[in-house]
Structure 1
């Protein structure tokens, strides 16, 4: 019986320690929540944010609510730059910002800078400077059907039948023309 009593006392002691540990963890969590809510209440409700474009231009946006969604920020940028909001990508501290989250979610404070990347919804940009093209070597294969075999060195070359091939300037760019 004494062994049985000792086991019960040991289990009670362990259980008591677990309860105390859980209580102290809950106390720490409630203190952290209180600190966070104090920090949030100390943050201004209206802030100024700055948008840095890829060309180095800084666009200030004033009187922005701290709880404004990123999509709203993009509309502000659109009104100032005429770049459609669906083409904008905002980055803050190396993180791509999601439209449905708020400035507060990302802890963006007064006078913080966000970078605005402009793209086309993860598509390839459709602009090629004409200085990079060599129209003398363009070839129209739209109406050609190949029955021949073409070689480039020791490799078989299949012409882009049904397509227009647009040449890129490479003459004198590399050692061996």
Structure 2
């Protein structure tokens, strides 16, 4: 009897918020988005990230973009000659939605230096981007707002925001 009740309750449980995929949100997300993030991972470091992210109906995604790292610490600026560190990156993986949330599972990502100072630091082993190759991660975002043309997300753990505009 208990087994039968559990089997009957399972569809009801899976239909509750937090368990079932949010099909309406998923439909709106499908397409190409121009996104940007500004992060401060440590005091004195500012990361500016811009990328194109394509969400497919098969719940896969690709992304392609650039990252600029600037330092507000005078010693770092002097060491770098006032230059920022620039990188290019790309990645792919899968995505899913639940009521009010977007989860992105990056299954592979690559990053490469894109200016002379970043290349020098990479070659010297100081900021070796080879350690970031084939990086895997799972990130969950709160969907703050979503329309057919705009998307605003907040990372659940790290609290940074992402702003996106549909490109097509």
TM-score (norm 1): 0.32
Return the structure number with greater helix share: 1
Q: Which has the higher contact order (CA 8 A, sep 6+)?
A: 2
TM-score with structure 2 setting the length: 0.33
